[in-house]
Amino acid sequence: MSSPLLDQLHLATLPPEAQAFRAEVRQFLATEMPELPADVRARSWMGFDAAFSRRLAARGWVGVTLPREYGGAALDAFSRFVLVEELLAAGAPVAGHWIADRQSGPLILKYGTAAQKDFYLPRICAGEAFFCIGMSEPNAGSDLASVGSRATPADGGGWRLNGRKIWTTNAQNCQYMIALVRSSGTAEDRHQGLSQFIVDLSLPGVTIRPIRDLAGDAHFSEVFFDDVALPPEALIGQEGSGWEQVTAELAFERSGPERLYSSIVLLDRWLTVLRASGQAARHAAVLGRFATHLSVLRNLSIAVTAQLASGQSPVIAAALVKDIGTEFEQAVPALIEAALGADPEEALDAELQRACAYVSQVAPTYSLRGGTREILRGMIARGLGLR
């Protein structure tokens, strides 16, 4: 008996050249990463450090999967998996180049014009062009197809953009946004009439308001478009093909090891403290749960990477890994917090305590970013033929 979903998941392993690449990345991090406490390194996903991103770019590791003619490293998806895994395990500040490397660059490479590729891709690879994602809107929630921001044809060519985006990661630090907006029809048309545009965030009419989170950081922004004049060449791909394009883009976003390691610095710090205190045996059950969960997830993620490496767009399998990965990422701070609180008389490691406090505060966002749990499970159900 075959399954539309299970048939997509085949055991895969990292090829030897990708494993060899790991040593290069570790050497780079040993020399370029400053010594930072765990509560700072735990911000890796959201850690914005343009200077670090440019050092990584100078090493050739931003736009790693992009062709050499655009300044990329032309490495395969397996090598990118290794690079991302090592960056997150070290707690490197990756937010500057993260989105451009993972999805904006590959999207432009796949759907962009020759002029768009010539202009944007070399800047991405040099760490000079940072991108944010313009998908979520205040009144659309998780229903991406109901976005209300609209681009209308302008007299003399180009487009006029009006609307609003929210939960836009690091918009205040980026030069560009790739925005999904309605370019024809009405909200009732759902997947029809949507298009993607590259928006220069320095244009008149663009207003960016950072949103401060529970931890006191401002990683997200609300972005307003007030009659923004976009040139004709801002359109990516075909007008009205935005839904197909954004679906492919989300597969890039959900498919990598990014969805497994948001809490890994905290877990590593807890292990270090337990080993130093000789208390690891007391928490063997929790540690065993983490190890088995992470091992399965990592292999699933490598299997999805194999699909990317073969040129496929693993939309459903990536949704599966992202959903289960989120469960793991949120379980880590919850169970460590419970373990720390189980013995009020025991002295706490201050660095561990700060890291746990930070990750616990931001963990609720893990099941929102890149698609909510409900959206992902709906996609998986469709993949199984249940909807």
Tokens representing 157? Answer: 């060519």
Residue whose entry in the numeric block shows the structure tokens 């494993």: 19
Alpha-carbon distance of 377 to 381, in angstroms, equals 6
Amino acid occupying residue 117: K
Does the annotation mark 253 as catalytic? Answer: yes
Exactly one of 85, 86, 137, 253 is catalytic; which is it? 253
Cβ 222 vs Cβ 209: under 8 Å: yes
Cβ-in-10-Å burial (0-12, 13-18, 19+) of 247 comes to: middle
Amino acid at 33: M
SS (HEC) of 186-212: CHHHCCCCEEEEEEECCCCCEEEEEEC
Distance CA 199, CA 89 (A): 33
Q: What is the DSSP letter of 241?
A: B
Q: How far apart are the C-alpha atoms of 163 and 146, rounded to whole Å?
A: 13
Tokens coding 100: 């451009």
Q: What are the backbone dihedrals phi and psi of residue 3, each rounded to the nearest 5 degrees, phi first?
A: -130, 130
Q: Which residues are the active-site residues?
A: 253
